[in-house]
């Protein structure tokens, strides 16, 4: 089959590889009909999350069930499904406590930030390096979906692939950042990052009746897109202080009720050694985190959705304590909210596919990564067709 394979930093190409096979009685094999490139894939593409052996990329995918393991009773051949990005068993302590991203069974490797005090294992994701379980991903014609009794959700026939594809990751993730903010209606939400995740946060904040949604980015074209789609306010990031000042001006000097970080770390490029994959302070992601703490009001909440797989130990704890800030962070527990979000899509309360700027064949995956990473050609979100 054809698949997008990573061969090292900056090198992802369409290769011919072996078809996946059923390895466990709870597996299904999915024929992938649509798949997308995520900002998280860029962390592997940049080398910030290293991957030594070639592996199939992709954790945002959907398709048609091609083959089922003998213990699968919830799905049959021909069913059309979307698949949450975490690989989760459904039966361990964490899966049973609404934390499938912390699944105790799916990731045989010990994972935690270098030098950090992490004594337990984290969960696994599709196509996201050996650190996260080493599962081949869905930027391919076929993918093996483990624990298929727990993850895949059937899609109503009246919805197109593009209408539901982002239920796999970025809509639940953007929504989670807002859920963590415990909005009651009427709040101001400042979202750092106008990429796919920030855009989904903006849509989710509107669904939660926020009074004012402010989106911040360094790319004017991305701000223009989300402003056109949602009518939100926008701020072009030139430096942190001026963004903080503008947010305060827009909130009677108080600051935003909720700040959402949807940027993620920028590593020094081309490092294969994770211990050396330090945050690039000049590129701004730490400045974004600090700006979130300064731009949030006293007693406010900061949701960190952007991925930070490395340690940073220079937070202004005094400010966090003095202002009484609550910080929530982590991978999105897609399984726990995907059904509720499918209802939002089906009812037409939210539209997800309007952020797609590029539709490419899987053969053109190298180009897709390049324009998404370099923010060329007005790129916000790339969807790949494995069969074109
Ligand atoms: P993306 O890389 O397209 O989006 C990042 C955006 O941040 C870009 O638009 C970029 O221009 C902007 N940016 C860069 N520097 C900035 C600055 N100083 N101020 C404001 N904006 C700045 O990717 P994405 O798909 O939107 O993902 C965003 C982050 O969310 C990534 O780190 C990704 O790994 C992470 N993510 C997390 C989860 C989760 O479960 N927590 C799920 C999906 C993605
Ligand atoms: Zn993703
Ligand atoms: Zn589990």
Same CATH topology for 2-169+352-385 and 170-329: the answer is no
Enter the tokens of residue 186: 């009427």
Backbone angles phi, psi at 288, to 5 degrees: -65, -45
> Per-domain residue ranges for the chain?
2-169+352-385, 170-329
ipTM comes to 0.99
Confidence category of residue 225, pLDDT binned at 50, 70, 90: very high
Per-residue pLDDT band for 52 (boundaries 50, 70, 90) equals confident
Cα gap 98→121, rounded to integer Å: 17
Provide the pLDDT confidence category of residue 287 given band limits of 50, 70 and 90. Answer: confident
CATH of domain 2-169+352-385: 3.90.180.10
Mutate to test the pocket of ligand 1, among 175, 178, 263, 372 (most ligand atoms within 8 A of CB): 263
Q: How far apart are CA 24 and CA 242, in angstroms?
A: 54
Confidence of residue 6 (pLDDT cuts 50, 70, 90): very high
Contact 26, 106 (CB under 8 A): no
Give the residue whose CA is nearest to atom 5 of ligand 1. 263
Task: With a cut of 70, say whether residue 231 has pLDDT above it.
Answer: yes
What average pLDDT score do residues 160-184 get? Answer: 98
Which residues contact residue 260 at a Cβ distance below 8 angstroms, ignoring those fewer than 6 apart?
177, 178, 181, 189, 190, 191, 192, 193, 198, 201, 292, 302, 303, 305
How large is the average pLDDT for residues 88-112? 86
Ligand 3 centroid–CA 125 distance in Å is 12
How open is the CA angle 207-161-32, to the nearest 5 degrees?
130
CA 246 to chain centroid, in Å, comes to 28
Q: What is the 3-state secondary structure (H, E, C) of 64-119?
A: EEEEECCCCCCCCCCCEEECCCEECCCCCHHHHCCCHHHCCCCCCCCCCCCCCCCC
For the residues 208-213, what does the mean pLDDT come to? Answer: 98
42 Cβ contact partners less than 8 Å away, ≥ 6 residues apart = 369, 372, 373
Lowest mean pLDDT among 44-53, 150-159, 275-284: 275-284
| Distance from C-alpha of 88 to C-alpha of 196, rounded to nearest angstrom | 24
Q: Under CATH, domain 170-329 is a member of which superfamily?
A: NAD(P)-binding Rossmann-like Domain (3.40.50.720)
pLDDT in tens, 103-143: 988 986 555 444 444 445 678 999 999 888 899 999 999 99
Which residue is closest in CA terms to ligand 1's atom 12? 193
CB 358 less than 6 A from any atom of ligand 1? no
| Cα angle value 9/307/15 (rounded, 5°) | 35
User: With bands split at pLDDT 50, 70 and 90, how would you rate the model's confidence at 267?
Assistant: low
Give mean pLDDT, residues 281-287: 64
In sequence order, the 6+-apart residues with CB closer than 8 A to the CB of 239 are: none
**By C-alpha distance, which of 230, 256, 255 is closest to 177?**
256
- Please give the mean pLDDT across all residues of the chain: 92
Contact 90, 149 (CB under 8 A): yes
Q: How far apart are CA 36 and CA 14, in angstroms?
A: 14
Mutate to test the pocket of ligand 1, among 39, 242, 309, 331 (most ligand atoms within 8 A of CB): 39
Strands 80-82 and 153-154, how do they pair? antiparallel
pTM above 0.90, yes or no: yes
* E strand or H helix at 8: strand 2-8
Ligand 1 atom at minimal distance to the Cα of residue 222:
9
pLDDT score at 119 = 44
Among 85, 100, 196, 197, name the best residue to mutate to test ligand 1's pocket (greatest count of ligand atoms within 8 A of Cβ).
Answer: 197
- 8 phi, psi to nearest 5 deg: 140, 175
The better pLDDT of the pair 254, 271 is held by 254
User: 144: Cβ–Cβ under 8 A, 6 or more apart, which residues?
Assistant: 20, 21, 22, 23, 27, 28, 29, 30, 135, 136
pLDDT of residue 342: 98
> Which of 117-126, 196-205, 260-269 has the largest mean confidence?
196-205
pLDDT for position 109? 59
Among 106-115, 123-132, 197-206, 235-244, whose mean pLDDT is lowest?
106-115
174 lines ligand 1 (CB under 6 A): no
Listed residue (276, 331, 266) closest to 98, CA to CA:
331
What pLDDT is recorded for position 272? 47
Q: What is the predicted pLDDT for the residue at 125? A: 95
Ligand 1 atom closest to residue 307's alpha carbon, by position in its atom list: 32
Q: Which residue has its alpha carbon closest to ligand 1 atom 36?
A: 306
Cβ-in-10-Å burial (0-12, 13-18, 19+) of 157 comes to exposed
Percent of the residues in the chain that have a pLDDT greater than 90, as a whole number: 81
Task: Please give the distance, rounded to the nearest whole angstrom, from the Cα atom of residue 105 to the centre of ligand 3.
Answer: 5
122 ligand 1 Cβ < 6 A: no
91: tokens are 């039966």
Question: Could you report the per-residue pLDDT of 345-359, keeping only the tens digit for each?
Answer: 999 999 999 999 999
Which residue, judged by its Cα, is nearest atom 33 of ligand 1?
40
291-316: pLDDT as tens digits: 999 999 999 999 999 998 766 667 78
pLDDT digits over 142-159, tens only? 999 999 999 999 999 999
- pLDDT of 271 > 70? The answer is no
40 lines ligand 1 (CB under 6 A): yes
């Amino acid at each position: 089959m054809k698949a997008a394979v990573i061969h090292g930093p900056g090198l992802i190409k369409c290769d011919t590889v072996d078809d996946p096979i059923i390895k466990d009685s709870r597996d299904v094999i999915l024929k992938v009909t649509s798949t997308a490139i995520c900002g998280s894939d860029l962390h592997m593409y940049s080398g910030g999350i290293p991957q030594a052996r070639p592996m199939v990329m992709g954790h945002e995918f959907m398709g048609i069930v091609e083959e089922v393991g003998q213990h699968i009773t919830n799905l049959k051949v021909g069913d059309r499904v979307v698949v949450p990005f975490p690989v989760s068993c459904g039966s361990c302590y964490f899966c049973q406590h609404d934390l499938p991203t912390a699944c105790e069974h799916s990731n045989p490797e010990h994972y935690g930030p270098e030098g950090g005090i992490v004594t337990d294992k984290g969960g696994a994701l599709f196509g996201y390096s050996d650190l996260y379980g080493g599962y081949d991903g869905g930027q391919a014609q076929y993918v093996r979906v483990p624990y298929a009794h727990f993850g895949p959700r059937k899609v109503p026939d009246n919805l197109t692939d593009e209408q539901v594809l982002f239920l796999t990751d970025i809509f639940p993730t953007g929504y989670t950042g807002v859920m963590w903010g415990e909005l009651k209606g009427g709040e101001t939400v400042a979202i750092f990052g106008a990429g796919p995740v920030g855009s989904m946060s903006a849509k989710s904040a509107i669904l939660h009746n926020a009074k004012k949604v402010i989106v911040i980015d360094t790319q004017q074209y991305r701000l223009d897109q989300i402003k056109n789609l949602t009518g939100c306010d926008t701020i072009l990031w030139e430096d942190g202080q001026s963004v903080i000042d503008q947010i305060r001006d827009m909130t009677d000097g108080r600051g935003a009720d909720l700040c959402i970080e949807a940027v993620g770390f920028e590593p020094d490029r081309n490092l294969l050694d994770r211990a050396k994959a330090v945050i690039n302070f000049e590129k701004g992601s730490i400045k974004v985190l600090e700006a979130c703490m300064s731009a949030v009001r006293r007693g406010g909440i900061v949701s960190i959705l952007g991925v930070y797989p490395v340690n940073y130990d220079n937070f202004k704890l005094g400010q966090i304590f003095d202002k009484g800030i609550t910080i929530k962070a982590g991978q999105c527990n897609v399984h726990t909210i995907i059904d509720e979000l499918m209802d939002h899509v089906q009812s037409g309360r939210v539209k997800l596919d309007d952020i797609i700027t590029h539709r490419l064949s899987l053969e053109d995956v190298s180009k897709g990564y390049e324009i998404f990473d370099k923010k060329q050609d007005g790129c916000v979100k790339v969807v790949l067709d494995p069969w074109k």
